[in-house]
C-alpha cells in the first residue's frame, strides 16, 4: 500500500515550488525532493535525477544544477534519496542490493505519484544519474522500458551479470571519462562505497542498447577531448549516444545537465 506525505508545507502540485516529500513503499518511508517549473500548467515531462553513492538527493540537485534545466525545458525534476545513500542497482555491492530493496518498484511508484500529481504526459518520463545513480538509471531502463523513454547515465554502466531485457526500445545518452578511477571506462572490477563489483565496459553497454534499439552504425563527432558516437534511425525513433571524454575522471561533466535535458526534450514517445 502506497501513501504520500507532503512535508515542508508544500502542496502536492504547486507549480514553481521546491518541496520535500515522503513515499511509503515496502514498509519504509522513502524521501525525495521535487522541483516544479514556474508558469507551466502542463509540464513537458518528468526527470528522475539519481545521486551517487554516499550522496543525497539534495546534494545531487546542488551538484548538477538541474533545476535550471528543468525550468528551461518545462520538466518536473525529482531527486530521490537512496537507502544508505545508495541504490539496489543490480550489482550486489550496495547495502540496499544485499538487503533485497526493491528500488525499481520504489522509483516507478514515485513516477506514478508525480505523474498523477503534475499531469505528466505518457511517454515523457526520463532518468539520469551519477555513478551508482547511473547504474540505477540503466537498471530502470532495462526493467521498466514501458515507463522510461530515455535515460542519461553519467559515469556508470551496468553490472556484468545484470540482465537487461527491455520490453521496448529506449533512447540512451551515456557520458563517461576514459580516466575514471572509480567506474572504469573499460569495465571489469571496481570498488565502490559498497564494495567490489564487476561491470560492463561503457562501449559494451552502448552496443547493447544499440542492439536492443536496432540501430545502425554510430557516427563519430569530435570536439577537443570529447568524442560523441551517435547511432540514430533506431527503432521507434530512439537514439543511442556514447560520449567518451578522453582523460575525463569520475565527475559530472560541466555540460552533462544541459546535454541530458536537450536529449530528453527530443526523445519522448
Q: Where are the domains of the chain?
A: 3-265
Read off φ and ψ for residue 83, nearest 5 degrees: -65, 135
- Does pTM surpass 0.85? yes
- Assess if CATH 3.40.50.1820 describes domain 3-265: yes
One pLDDT digit (tens) per residue for the chain, 269 residues: 333 333 333 334 444 568 999 999 999 999 999 999 987 788 999 999 999 999 999 999 999 999 999 999 999 999 999 999 999 999 989 999 999 999 999 999 999 999 999 999 989 999 999 999 999 999 999 999 999 999 999 999 999 999 999 999 999 999 999 999 999 999 999 998 878 999 999 999 999 999 999 999 999 999 999 999 999 889 999 999 999 999 999 999 999 999 999 999 999 99
CA–CA distance, 9 with 246 (Å, rounded to integer): 46
Amino acid at each position: 500500500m502506497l501513501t504520500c506525505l507532503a512535508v515542508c508545507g508544500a502542496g502536492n502540485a504547486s507549480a514553481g515550488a521546491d518541496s520535500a516529500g515522503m513515499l511509503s513503499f515496502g514498509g519504509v518511508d522513502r524521501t525525495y525532493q521535487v522541483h516544479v517549473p514556474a508558469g507551466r500548467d502542463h509540464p513537458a515531462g518528468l526527470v528522475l535525477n539519481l545521486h551517487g553513492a554516499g550522496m543525497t538527493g539534495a546534494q545531487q540537485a546542488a551538484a548538477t544544477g538541474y533545476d535550471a534545466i528543468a525550468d528551461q525545458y518545462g520538466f518536473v525534476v525529482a531527486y530521490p534519496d537512496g537507502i544508505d545513500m545508495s541504490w539496489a542497482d543490480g550489482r550486489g555491492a550496495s547495502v540496499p542490493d544485499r538487503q533485497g530493496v526493491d528500488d525499481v518498484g520504489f522509483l516507478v511508484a514515485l513516477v506514478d505519484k508525480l505523474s498523477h500529481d503534475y499531469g505528466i504526459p505518457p511517454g515523457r518520463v526520463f532518468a539520469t544519474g551519477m555513478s551508482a545513480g547511473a547504474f540505477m538509471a540503466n537498471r530502470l531502463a532495462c526493467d521498466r522500458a514501458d515507463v522510461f523513454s530515455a535515460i542519461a547515465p553519467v559515469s556508470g554502466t551496468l553490472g556484468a551479470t545484470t540482465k537487461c531485457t527491455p520490453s521496448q526500445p529506449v533512447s540512451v545518452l551515456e557520458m563517461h571519462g576514459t580516466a575514471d578511477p572509480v567506474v572504469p571506462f573499460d569495465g571489469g572490477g571496481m570498488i565502490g562505497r559498497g564494495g567490489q563489483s564487476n561491470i560492463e565496459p561503457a562501449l559494451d553497454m552502448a552496443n547493447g542498447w544499440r542492439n536492443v534499439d536496432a540501430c545502425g552504425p554510430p557516427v563519430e563527432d569530435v570536439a577537443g577531448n570529447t568524442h560523441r558516437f551517435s547511432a540514430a534511425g533506431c527503432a521507434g525513433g530512439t537514439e543511442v549516444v556514447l560520449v567518451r571524454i578522453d582523460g575525463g575522471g569520475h565527475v559530472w561533466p560541466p555540460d552533462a545537465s544541459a546535454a541530458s535535458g536537450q536529449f530528453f526534450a527530443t526523445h519522448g514517445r
